[in-house]
Amino acid sequence: MAVLVLIAFALPAVAEEKPTCEEPVATTEGLVKGFGDPDYAACGFLGLRYAAPPVGELRLKPPEPPKPHEGVYDATHTPPVCPQPKFITAGGNLDQISEDCLFLNIWRPARPGSFPVMLWIHGGGFRTGSGGFQIYDGARLAAEQGIVVVTINYRLGWLGFLALPELRQEDPRQTTGNYGTLDMIQALRWAHDNIAAFAGDPERVTVSGQSAGGLSACVMMASPLAADLFDQAIIQSGPCDQAIPLPVGIQRGREFVATLGCQEQDLSACLRSQPLEKLVPKGENLILSGGMTFGPHQDGYLLSTDPVTAMEQGNYRKVPVLIGTTRDEIKLYTLTIPGTSLVPRFEVKKILRGLAGPYYDGMMSLYSFDEYRRPINLFHAVATDTALGSRAFHVAELVSPDAPVYYYRFDWDQTRFPRKTGAFHSLEVPFVFGGLNLDFTLAKLVANKKTVEAAQPLVDQIMAYWGNFVRTGNPNGEGLPEWPAYNTIDKLRLHLDSEITVQPVPAKEIERYDFLNRFTLQGMKAVPRSE
Protein backbone atom coordinates (compact mmCIF):
# COMPACT_ATOMS: atom_id res chain seq x y z
CA MET A 1 0.00 0.00 0.00
CA ALA A 2 1.38 3.38 -0.90
CA VAL A 3 1.91 5.74 1.92
CA LEU A 4 3.63 9.04 2.46
CA VAL A 5 6.53 10.31 4.56
CA LEU A 6 4.77 12.61 7.00
CA ILE A 7 6.89 13.75 9.96
CA ALA A 8 10.28 14.73 11.33
CA PHE A 9 11.21 15.45 14.91
CA ALA A 10 13.16 18.52 16.00
CA LEU A 11 16.45 17.44 17.53
CA PRO A 12 19.16 19.64 19.04
CA ALA A 13 22.15 20.28 16.82
CA VAL A 14 25.61 19.22 17.91
CA ALA A 15 28.07 22.04 17.41
CA GLU A 16 31.20 20.98 15.56
CA GLU A 17 34.10 22.85 14.10
CA LYS A 18 32.97 24.23 10.76
CA PRO A 19 34.69 22.44 7.88
CA THR A 20 36.19 24.03 4.82
CA CYS A 21 34.22 22.54 1.95
CA GLU A 22 34.20 25.22 -0.73
CA GLU A 23 37.01 23.75 -2.82
CA PRO A 24 35.57 22.83 -6.27
CA VAL A 25 35.10 19.11 -6.95
CA ALA A 26 35.55 17.59 -10.42
CA THR A 27 32.67 15.46 -11.73
CA THR A 28 32.12 13.86 -15.13
CA GLU A 29 30.15 16.98 -16.12
CA GLY A 30 32.51 19.61 -14.72
CA LEU A 31 33.43 21.40 -11.50
CA VAL A 32 30.93 21.81 -8.64
CA LYS A 33 31.17 23.85 -5.46
CA GLY A 34 29.46 22.92 -2.20
CA PHE A 35 29.39 24.34 1.31
CA GLY A 36 30.29 23.57 4.89
CA ASP A 37 27.35 22.61 7.07
CA PRO A 38 26.82 25.18 9.83
CA ASP A 39 26.13 22.58 12.55
CA TYR A 40 28.09 19.43 11.71
CA ALA A 41 31.52 18.54 10.36
CA ALA A 42 30.13 17.75 6.94
CA CYS A 43 30.28 19.12 3.41
CA GLY A 44 27.09 19.47 1.41
CA PHE A 45 26.52 19.48 -2.34
CA LEU A 46 22.92 20.15 -3.34
CA GLY A 47 21.17 19.91 -6.68
CA LEU A 48 23.76 17.96 -8.66
CA ARG A 49 22.32 16.99 -12.02
CA TYR A 50 22.57 13.23 -12.58
CA ALA A 51 20.48 13.06 -15.78
CA ALA A 52 19.45 15.31 -18.63
CA PRO A 53 16.26 17.34 -18.06
CA PRO A 54 13.33 14.96 -18.81
CA VAL A 55 11.38 17.59 -20.72
CA GLY A 56 10.18 18.06 -24.30
CA GLU A 57 11.16 15.04 -26.37
CA LEU A 58 12.67 13.37 -23.27
CA ARG A 59 9.36 13.40 -21.37
CA LEU A 60 8.13 9.82 -20.77
CA LYS A 61 11.44 8.32 -21.88
CA PRO A 62 14.22 6.60 -19.91
CA PRO A 63 16.75 9.06 -18.47
CA GLU A 64 19.69 10.27 -20.53
CA PRO A 65 23.11 11.17 -19.05
CA PRO A 66 23.59 14.86 -18.24
CA LYS A 67 25.62 17.12 -20.51
CA PRO A 68 28.83 18.84 -19.36
CA HIS A 69 28.54 22.35 -17.95
CA GLU A 70 30.92 25.27 -18.11
CA GLY A 71 32.48 27.03 -15.16
CA VAL A 72 31.88 26.00 -11.55
CA TYR A 73 28.37 24.78 -10.76
CA ASP A 74 26.88 26.26 -7.58
CA ALA A 75 25.76 23.26 -5.49
CA THR A 76 24.56 25.24 -2.49
CA HIS A 77 20.82 25.47 -3.16
CA THR A 78 18.07 22.89 -2.68
CA PRO A 79 16.94 21.65 -6.11
CA PRO A 80 13.39 21.82 -7.46
CA VAL A 81 10.86 19.18 -6.49
CA CYS A 82 9.49 16.84 -9.16
CA PRO A 83 5.87 17.59 -10.15
CA GLN A 84 3.42 16.28 -7.55
CA PRO A 85 0.18 17.17 -5.78
CA LYS A 86 0.55 19.58 -2.90
CA PHE A 87 0.32 17.62 0.31
CA ILE A 88 1.78 17.66 3.81
CA THR A 89 5.54 17.45 3.34
CA ALA A 90 8.52 16.56 5.48
CA GLY A 91 9.93 20.07 5.39
CA GLY A 92 9.84 20.64 1.63
CA ASN A 93 8.98 23.64 -0.53
CA LEU A 94 6.27 22.70 -3.02
CA ASP A 95 6.33 26.18 -4.52
CA GLN A 96 9.59 25.14 -6.19
CA ILE A 97 8.27 22.47 -8.58
CA SER A 98 9.77 21.75 -11.99
CA GLU A 99 9.67 18.96 -14.54
CA ASP A 100 13.43 19.53 -14.77
CA CYS A 101 14.02 17.82 -11.43
CA LEU A 102 16.52 14.97 -11.81
CA PHE A 103 18.99 16.10 -9.17
CA LEU A 104 20.71 14.49 -6.22
CA ASN A 105 22.29 15.78 -3.01
CA ILE A 106 25.50 14.63 -1.32
CA TRP A 107 26.78 15.02 2.22
CA ARG A 108 30.26 13.81 3.10
CA PRO A 109 32.35 13.97 6.27
CA ALA A 110 34.58 17.04 6.28
CA ARG A 111 37.63 14.99 7.20
CA PRO A 112 39.80 13.22 4.61
CA GLY A 113 39.12 9.58 3.78
CA SER A 114 37.25 7.15 1.58
CA PHE A 115 33.84 6.48 3.09
CA PRO A 116 31.05 3.97 2.43
CA VAL A 117 28.00 5.36 0.66
CA MET A 118 24.30 5.28 1.56
CA LEU A 119 22.05 6.22 -1.36
CA TRP A 120 18.56 7.06 -0.10
CA ILE A 121 15.35 6.72 -2.13
CA HIS A 122 12.50 8.72 -0.61
CA GLY A 123 8.98 7.44 -0.05
CA GLY A 124 5.66 8.99 -0.94
CA GLY A 125 3.72 6.38 -2.89
CA PHE A 126 5.62 7.21 -6.12
CA ARG A 127 3.47 10.34 -6.36
CA THR A 128 5.00 12.70 -3.76
CA GLY A 129 8.30 13.42 -2.05
CA SER A 130 11.79 14.70 -2.78
CA GLY A 131 15.34 13.88 -1.78
CA GLY A 132 15.71 17.57 -0.97
CA PHE A 133 13.15 17.60 1.84
CA GLN A 134 14.66 18.65 5.16
CA ILE A 135 13.89 15.34 6.85
CA TYR A 136 16.52 13.75 4.57
CA ASP A 137 19.30 16.24 5.33
CA GLY A 138 22.32 13.97 5.60
CA ALA A 139 24.78 16.27 7.37
CA ARG A 140 24.50 14.76 10.84
CA LEU A 141 24.43 11.17 9.59
CA ALA A 142 27.51 11.76 7.43
CA ALA A 143 29.48 13.59 10.11
CA GLU A 144 28.73 11.29 13.04
CA GLN A 145 28.72 7.94 11.24
CA GLY A 146 31.55 8.47 8.76
CA ILE A 147 29.55 7.75 5.62
CA VAL A 148 28.63 9.60 2.44
CA VAL A 149 24.88 10.21 2.19
CA VAL A 150 23.22 10.63 -1.22
CA THR A 151 19.54 11.55 -1.59
CA ILE A 152 17.81 11.68 -4.95
CA ASN A 153 14.79 12.99 -6.82
CA TYR A 154 13.02 10.78 -9.34
CA ARG A 155 10.02 11.30 -11.59
CA LEU A 156 6.67 10.76 -9.91
CA GLY A 157 3.07 10.02 -10.84
CA TRP A 158 2.20 9.68 -14.52
CA LEU A 159 5.47 11.34 -15.56
CA GLY A 160 7.39 8.57 -13.82
CA PHE A 161 5.16 5.54 -14.19
CA LEU A 162 2.78 5.86 -17.16
CA ALA A 163 2.68 2.54 -19.03
CA LEU A 164 1.46 2.43 -22.64
CA PRO A 165 2.28 0.13 -25.57
CA GLU A 166 2.89 3.18 -27.80
CA LEU A 167 5.62 4.39 -25.43
CA ARG A 168 7.08 0.90 -25.26
CA GLN A 169 7.22 0.51 -29.04
CA GLU A 170 9.21 3.70 -29.53
CA ASP A 171 11.91 2.60 -27.06
CA PRO A 172 14.65 0.24 -28.34
CA ARG A 173 14.72 -1.46 -24.91
CA GLN A 174 10.95 -2.05 -25.00
CA THR A 175 10.44 -0.50 -21.57
CA THR A 176 7.46 1.48 -20.34
CA GLY A 177 6.01 2.55 -17.01
CA ASN A 178 9.38 2.60 -15.25
CA TYR A 179 10.82 6.04 -15.96
CA GLY A 180 10.98 6.94 -12.26
CA THR A 181 12.69 3.67 -11.32
CA LEU A 182 15.12 4.00 -14.22
CA ASP A 183 15.92 7.46 -12.83
CA MET A 184 16.98 5.75 -9.60
CA ILE A 185 19.29 3.41 -11.50
CA GLN A 186 20.75 6.34 -13.43
CA ALA A 187 21.41 8.05 -10.07
CA LEU A 188 23.17 4.91 -8.83
CA ARG A 189 25.20 4.85 -12.04
CA TRP A 190 26.15 8.53 -11.70
CA ALA A 191 27.14 7.95 -8.08
CA HIS A 192 29.26 4.96 -9.08
CA ASP A 193 31.14 7.12 -11.59
CA ASN A 194 31.50 10.23 -9.42
CA ILE A 195 31.27 9.44 -5.73
CA ALA A 196 35.03 8.97 -5.30
CA ALA A 197 35.42 12.71 -5.97
CA PHE A 198 33.22 13.28 -2.89
CA ALA A 199 35.29 10.93 -0.67
CA GLY A 200 32.91 8.04 -1.30
CA ASP A 201 33.90 4.45 -2.05
CA PRO A 202 32.06 3.22 -5.18
CA GLU A 203 32.70 -0.38 -4.13
CA ARG A 204 30.78 0.07 -0.85
CA VAL A 205 27.32 1.37 -1.73
CA THR A 206 24.15 0.65 0.25
CA VAL A 207 20.87 1.32 -1.54
CA SER A 208 18.25 2.32 0.99
CA GLY A 209 14.77 3.73 1.25
CA GLN A 210 11.47 3.85 3.09
CA SER A 211 7.95 2.99 1.89
CA ALA A 212 8.04 3.49 -1.90
CA GLY A 213 11.79 3.86 -1.44
CA GLY A 214 11.93 0.56 0.44
CA LEU A 215 10.08 -1.16 -2.39
CA SER A 216 12.54 0.48 -4.78
CA ALA A 217 15.46 -1.01 -2.83
CA CYS A 218 13.82 -4.42 -3.35
CA VAL A 219 13.52 -3.66 -7.07
CA MET A 220 17.25 -2.92 -7.19
CA MET A 221 17.89 -6.36 -5.68
CA ALA A 222 15.74 -8.02 -8.35
CA SER A 223 16.65 -6.00 -11.46
CA PRO A 224 19.66 -7.02 -13.56
CA LEU A 225 20.08 -3.34 -14.48
CA ALA A 226 21.26 -2.48 -10.95
CA ALA A 227 23.21 -5.64 -10.16
CA ASP A 228 26.70 -4.09 -10.19
CA LEU A 229 25.80 -0.74 -8.65
CA PHE A 230 25.34 -1.55 -4.95
CA ASP A 231 26.51 -3.98 -2.28
CA GLN A 232 23.89 -3.87 0.50
CA ALA A 233 20.25 -2.88 1.00
CA ILE A 234 18.17 -1.17 3.69
CA ILE A 235 14.43 -1.75 3.30
CA GLN A 236 12.23 0.32 5.63
CA SER A 237 8.50 -0.42 5.39
CA GLY A 238 8.77 -1.47 1.76
CA PRO A 239 6.00 -3.63 0.20
CA CYS A 240 8.44 -5.67 -1.87
CA ASP A 241 5.90 -7.62 -3.94
CA GLN A 242 4.20 -4.52 -5.32
CA ALA A 243 5.56 -4.42 -8.87
CA ILE A 244 2.63 -3.81 -11.20
CA PRO A 245 1.90 -6.40 -13.93
CA LEU A 246 2.24 -4.62 -17.26
CA PRO A 247 -1.33 -5.33 -18.48
CA VAL A 248 -2.68 -3.74 -15.29
CA GLY A 249 -0.47 -0.70 -15.75
CA ILE A 250 -1.45 -0.31 -19.40
CA GLN A 251 -5.14 -0.46 -18.50
CA ARG A 252 -4.63 2.32 -15.95
CA GLY A 253 -2.62 4.28 -18.50
CA ARG A 254 -5.38 3.96 -21.09
CA GLU A 255 -7.95 5.21 -18.59
CA PHE A 256 -5.78 8.22 -17.77
CA VAL A 257 -4.98 9.09 -21.39
CA ALA A 258 -8.69 9.02 -22.21
CA THR A 259 -9.12 12.04 -19.94
CA LEU A 260 -6.63 14.05 -22.03
CA GLY A 261 -8.34 13.67 -25.40
CA CYS A 262 -5.22 12.33 -27.15
CA GLN A 263 -5.74 10.22 -30.28
CA GLU A 264 -3.94 6.87 -30.62
CA GLN A 265 -2.22 7.74 -33.91
CA ASP A 266 -0.19 10.57 -32.34
CA LEU A 267 -0.41 9.56 -28.70
CA SER A 268 3.27 10.07 -27.78
CA ALA A 269 3.41 13.51 -29.37
CA CYS A 270 0.16 14.50 -27.69
CA LEU A 271 1.42 13.42 -24.26
CA ARG A 272 4.64 15.38 -24.70
CA SER A 273 2.74 18.51 -25.67
CA GLN A 274 0.36 18.44 -22.70
CA PRO A 275 0.69 21.23 -20.11
CA LEU A 276 2.38 19.94 -16.99
CA GLU A 277 -0.62 20.39 -14.70
CA LYS A 278 -2.64 17.85 -16.70
CA LEU A 279 -0.07 15.14 -15.96
CA VAL A 280 0.10 15.64 -12.18
CA PRO A 281 -2.16 13.31 -10.16
CA LYS A 282 -4.57 14.66 -7.62
CA GLY A 283 -3.67 14.44 -3.95
CA GLU A 284 -6.50 12.20 -2.81
CA ASN A 285 -6.36 10.16 0.38
CA LEU A 286 -4.62 6.89 -0.48
CA ILE A 287 -6.66 4.86 2.00
CA LEU A 288 -9.89 5.99 0.35
CA SER A 289 -8.69 5.94 -3.24
CA GLY A 290 -7.60 2.31 -3.28
CA GLY A 291 -3.89 2.19 -2.57
CA MET A 292 -0.99 2.18 -5.00
CA THR A 293 -1.66 3.57 -8.46
CA PHE A 294 1.95 4.27 -9.40
CA GLY A 295 5.05 2.15 -9.12
CA PRO A 296 7.48 -0.08 -10.99
CA HIS A 297 6.12 -2.34 -13.73
CA GLN A 298 7.02 -5.86 -14.76
CA ASP A 299 7.94 -4.85 -18.31
CA GLY A 300 10.57 -7.50 -19.08
CA TYR A 301 13.37 -4.93 -19.09
CA LEU A 302 13.55 -3.55 -15.56
CA LEU A 303 11.75 -6.54 -14.05
CA SER A 304 10.43 -9.85 -15.32
CA THR A 305 8.45 -10.47 -12.13
CA ASP A 306 7.90 -8.82 -8.77
CA PRO A 307 10.91 -8.74 -6.39
CA VAL A 308 9.47 -11.26 -3.92
CA THR A 309 8.86 -13.82 -6.66
CA ALA A 310 12.42 -13.21 -7.86
CA MET A 311 13.63 -13.92 -4.33
CA GLU A 312 11.53 -17.09 -4.15
CA GLN A 313 13.15 -18.20 -7.42
CA GLY A 314 16.65 -17.23 -6.26
CA ASN A 315 16.99 -14.69 -9.08
CA TYR A 316 18.13 -11.66 -7.12
CA ARG A 317 21.29 -9.98 -5.81
CA LYS A 318 22.14 -11.78 -2.58
CA VAL A 319 23.52 -9.00 -0.40
CA PRO A 320 23.29 -8.12 3.31
CA VAL A 321 19.89 -6.64 4.15
CA LEU A 322 18.57 -4.54 7.01
CA ILE A 323 14.78 -4.68 6.94
CA GLY A 324 11.79 -3.88 9.11
CA THR A 325 8.58 -1.96 9.73
CA THR A 326 6.91 0.19 12.35
CA ARG A 327 4.49 -1.42 14.78
CA ASP A 328 1.45 0.66 13.75
CA GLU A 329 2.11 1.43 10.09
CA ILE A 330 -1.43 2.35 9.07
CA LYS A 331 -2.77 3.90 12.27
CA LEU A 332 -2.11 7.57 11.52
CA TYR A 333 -3.74 7.55 8.11
CA THR A 334 -7.24 6.81 9.31
CA LEU A 335 -7.07 10.02 11.38
CA THR A 336 -7.63 11.88 8.11
CA ILE A 337 -11.05 10.20 7.83
CA PRO A 338 -13.50 11.89 10.25
CA GLY A 339 -15.09 9.71 12.92
CA THR A 340 -12.98 6.59 12.45
CA SER A 341 -12.13 6.25 16.14
CA LEU A 342 -15.83 5.69 16.84
CA VAL A 343 -16.57 3.26 14.01
CA PRO A 344 -18.57 0.34 15.47
CA ARG A 345 -17.56 -3.28 15.21
CA PHE A 346 -20.06 -4.17 12.47
CA GLU A 347 -18.72 -1.37 10.24
CA VAL A 348 -15.14 -2.58 10.67
CA LYS A 349 -16.27 -6.09 9.71
CA LYS A 350 -18.01 -4.69 6.64
CA ILE A 351 -14.86 -2.81 5.56
CA LEU A 352 -12.62 -5.84 6.05
CA ARG A 353 -15.04 -8.15 4.26
CA GLY A 354 -14.97 -5.80 1.28
CA LEU A 355 -11.17 -5.77 1.26
CA ALA A 356 -10.49 -9.45 1.92
CA GLY A 357 -13.31 -11.01 -0.07
CA PRO A 358 -13.08 -14.81 0.06
CA TYR A 359 -10.20 -14.58 2.55
CA TYR A 360 -12.30 -12.78 5.17
CA ASP A 361 -13.27 -15.76 7.35
CA GLY A 362 -9.76 -17.17 7.40
CA MET A 363 -8.31 -13.78 8.20
CA MET A 364 -10.76 -13.04 11.01
CA SER A 365 -10.04 -16.40 12.63
CA LEU A 366 -6.60 -14.95 13.40
CA TYR A 367 -7.74 -11.62 14.91
CA SER A 368 -10.11 -10.90 17.81
CA PHE A 369 -11.85 -7.62 18.66
CA ASP A 370 -11.27 -8.47 22.33
CA GLU A 371 -7.56 -7.73 21.85
CA TYR A 372 -8.16 -4.08 20.98
CA ARG A 373 -9.44 -1.03 22.84
CA ARG A 374 -11.53 0.17 19.90
CA PRO A 375 -12.87 -1.79 16.90
CA ILE A 376 -10.93 0.44 14.48
CA ASN A 377 -7.69 -0.76 16.11
CA LEU A 378 -8.34 -4.25 14.76
CA PHE A 379 -8.53 -2.71 11.29
CA HIS A 380 -5.20 -0.95 11.95
CA ALA A 381 -3.62 -4.27 12.92
CA VAL A 382 -4.96 -6.17 9.91
CA ALA A 383 -3.99 -3.39 7.50
CA THR A 384 -0.51 -3.01 9.00
CA ASP A 385 0.13 -6.76 8.89
CA THR A 386 -1.24 -7.15 5.37
CA ALA A 387 0.34 -4.11 3.77
CA LEU A 388 3.81 -4.23 5.29
CA GLY A 389 4.40 -6.46 8.33
CA SER A 390 3.85 -9.81 6.62
CA ARG A 391 5.87 -8.72 3.60
CA ALA A 392 8.95 -7.72 5.61
CA PHE A 393 8.80 -11.02 7.49
CA HIS A 394 8.55 -12.95 4.21
CA VAL A 395 11.58 -11.16 2.74
CA ALA A 396 13.59 -11.89 5.90
CA GLU A 397 12.64 -15.57 5.58
CA LEU A 398 13.62 -15.68 1.90
CA VAL A 399 16.91 -13.78 2.01
CA SER A 400 18.39 -14.97 5.32
CA PRO A 401 19.51 -18.39 3.99
CA ASP A 402 21.53 -16.59 1.29
CA ALA A 403 22.89 -13.47 3.02
CA PRO A 404 22.94 -11.77 6.44
CA VAL A 405 19.58 -10.22 7.34
CA TYR A 406 18.92 -7.89 10.27
CA TYR A 407 15.20 -7.66 11.04
CA TYR A 408 13.64 -4.94 13.21
CA ARG A 409 10.36 -3.46 14.34
CA PHE A 410 10.15 0.19 15.37
CA ASP A 411 7.92 0.37 18.46
CA TRP A 412 8.64 3.84 19.89
CA ASP A 413 5.37 5.74 20.16
CA GLN A 414 5.96 8.52 22.70
CA THR A 415 4.44 11.24 20.54
CA ARG A 416 2.03 13.86 21.88
CA PHE A 417 -0.88 11.55 21.07
CA PRO A 418 0.45 7.98 21.37
CA ARG A 419 -2.96 6.28 21.44
CA LYS A 420 -4.02 8.01 18.23
CA THR A 421 -0.80 7.75 16.25
CA GLY A 422 1.13 4.81 17.68
CA ALA A 423 4.44 3.91 16.03
CA PHE A 424 3.14 5.01 12.66
CA HIS A 425 4.45 4.73 9.11
CA SER A 426 7.56 6.88 8.57
CA LEU A 427 8.06 7.73 12.25
CA GLU A 428 11.48 6.03 12.21
CA VAL A 429 12.84 8.17 9.36
CA PRO A 430 13.88 11.22 11.43
CA PHE A 431 15.57 8.81 13.86
CA VAL A 432 17.72 7.49 11.01
CA PHE A 433 18.76 10.94 9.80
CA GLY A 434 19.06 12.57 13.21
CA GLY A 435 16.14 14.95 12.90
CA LEU A 436 15.79 18.64 12.17
CA ASN A 437 13.90 21.67 13.48
CA LEU A 438 10.98 21.64 11.10
CA ASP A 439 7.99 23.92 10.84
CA PHE A 440 5.02 22.21 9.23
CA THR A 441 1.59 21.22 10.45
CA LEU A 442 2.03 17.55 11.25
CA ALA A 443 5.34 18.00 13.06
CA LYS A 444 3.68 20.54 15.34
CA LEU A 445 0.79 18.15 15.91
CA VAL A 446 2.95 15.19 16.92
CA ALA A 447 6.24 16.49 18.30
CA ASN A 448 7.05 18.81 21.18
CA LYS A 449 10.12 19.57 23.25
CA LYS A 450 9.40 16.80 25.75
CA THR A 451 9.03 14.06 23.14
CA VAL A 452 12.11 15.27 21.28
CA GLU A 453 14.26 15.06 24.41
CA ALA A 454 12.88 11.63 25.27
CA ALA A 455 13.68 10.35 21.78
CA GLN A 456 17.32 11.45 21.71
CA PRO A 457 18.96 8.28 23.14
CA LEU A 458 17.09 6.10 20.64
CA VAL A 459 18.01 8.49 17.83
CA ASP A 460 21.69 8.01 18.66
CA GLN A 461 21.34 4.23 18.76
CA ILE A 462 19.43 3.98 15.47
CA MET A 463 21.90 6.26 13.70
CA ALA A 464 24.73 4.04 14.99
CA TYR A 465 23.02 0.81 13.88
CA TRP A 466 22.36 2.17 10.39
CA GLY A 467 25.83 3.71 10.13
CA ASN A 468 27.52 0.48 11.21
CA PHE A 469 25.52 -1.48 8.65
CA VAL A 470 26.49 0.90 5.84
CA ARG A 471 30.16 0.67 6.84
CA THR A 472 30.44 -3.07 7.52
CA GLY A 473 27.25 -4.92 6.55
CA ASN A 474 26.65 -5.56 10.26
CA PRO A 475 24.76 -3.07 12.46
CA ASN A 476 26.45 -4.11 15.70
CA GLY A 477 29.05 -1.97 17.40
CA GLU A 478 30.46 -0.82 20.70
CA GLY A 479 27.88 0.37 23.21
CA LEU A 480 24.87 -0.99 21.32
CA PRO A 481 22.56 -3.83 22.38
CA GLU A 482 23.45 -6.91 20.35
CA TRP A 483 21.39 -7.30 17.17
CA PRO A 484 21.55 -10.96 16.06
CA ALA A 485 21.27 -11.84 12.40
CA TYR A 486 17.90 -13.30 11.50
CA ASN A 487 17.53 -16.99 10.76
CA THR A 488 14.51 -19.13 9.90
CA ILE A 489 14.81 -21.22 13.08
CA ASP A 490 15.13 -18.66 15.89
CA LYS A 491 13.27 -15.87 14.03
CA LEU A 492 14.74 -13.11 16.20
CA ARG A 493 13.73 -9.49 15.71
CA LEU A 494 15.16 -6.32 17.24
CA HIS A 495 12.52 -4.05 18.79
CA LEU A 496 13.51 -0.39 18.63
CA ASP A 497 11.98 1.40 21.60
CA SER A 498 13.09 3.43 24.61
CA GLU A 499 14.50 0.11 25.79
CA ILE A 500 15.84 -1.95 22.89
CA THR A 501 15.07 -5.67 23.12
CA VAL A 502 15.49 -8.79 21.00
CA GLN A 503 12.48 -11.08 20.82
CA PRO A 504 11.44 -14.06 18.72
CA VAL A 505 8.55 -13.28 16.41
CA PRO A 506 5.50 -14.67 18.28
CA ALA A 507 3.92 -17.83 16.90
CA LYS A 508 0.55 -16.11 16.56
CA GLU A 509 2.11 -13.32 14.53
CA ILE A 510 3.88 -15.83 12.28
CA GLU A 511 0.55 -17.61 11.71
CA ARG A 512 -1.01 -14.31 10.65
CA TYR A 513 1.90 -13.43 8.39
CA ASP A 514 1.92 -16.84 6.73
CA PHE A 515 -1.80 -16.53 6.00
CA LEU A 516 -1.56 -12.95 4.74
CA ASN A 517 1.35 -13.76 2.46
CA ARG A 518 -0.94 -15.99 0.41
CA PHE A 519 -2.56 -12.94 -1.08
CA THR A 520 -1.86 -9.28 -1.62
CA LEU A 521 -4.00 -6.18 -1.80
CA GLN A 522 -4.27 -5.15 -5.43
CA GLY A 523 -6.57 -2.18 -5.86
CA MET A 524 -7.61 -2.87 -2.23
CA LYS A 525 -9.05 -6.27 -3.23
CA ALA A 526 -7.54 -9.46 -1.92
CA VAL A 527 -6.24 -11.68 -4.70
CA PRO A 528 -3.87 -14.66 -4.71
CA ARG A 529 -0.25 -13.57 -5.03
CA SER A 530 0.18 -15.84 -8.05
CA GLU A 531 -2.34 -13.81 -10.07
Q: Which residues are identified as catalytic?
A: 211, 329, 425
Q: Which residues contact 231 (CB under 8 A, 6 or more apart)?
A: 203, 204, 205, 206, 319, 320, 473
Q: What are phi and psi of 525, to 5 degrees?
A: -120, 135
| CA pair distance 235, 241, nearest whole angstrom | 13
Q: Which of 33, 38, 9, 14 is nearest to 106 (CA)?
A: 33
DSSP assignment string, 11-34: ------PPP---S-EEETTEEEE-
- Single-letter code of the amino acid located at 106: I
Q: At 205, which helix (H) or strand (E)? A: strand 200-210
- Single-letter code of the amino acid located at 410: F
- Single-letter code of the amino acid located at 524: M
| Rounded alpha-carbon distances, angstroms, from residue 396 to 227, 311, 407, 491 | 20, 10, 7, 9
| 279 Cα distance to chain centroid | 22
| CA pair distance 320, 471, nearest whole angstrom | 12
| CA pair distance 4, 477, nearest whole angstrom | 31
Q: Which of 235, 517, 213 is nearest to 403 (CA)?
A: 235
Beta strands in 51-158, from DSSP E residues, in sequence order: 72-74, 103-109, 115-121, 148-152
| Rounded alpha-carbon distances, angstroms, from residue 67 to 51, 72, 103, 384 | 8, 14, 13, 44
| CA pair distance 152, 347, nearest whole angstrom | 42
Give the three-class secondary structure for 112: coil
Query: For residues 162 and 60, is the Cβ–Cβ distance under 8 A?
Result: yes
Q: At 51, which helix (H) or strand (E)? A: none
Q: What is the CA radius of gyration of the chain?
A: 22
According to DSSP, the β-strands at 297-298 and 321-326 are: unpaired
Q: Which long-range contacts (CB under 8 A, 24 or more apart) does 383-387 make?
A: 383/1, 383/329, 383/330, 384/325, 384/327, 384/328, 384/329, 384/330, 384/331, 385/509, 385/512, 385/513, 385/516, 386/516, 386/521, 387/1, 387/239, 387/329, 387/330, 387/521
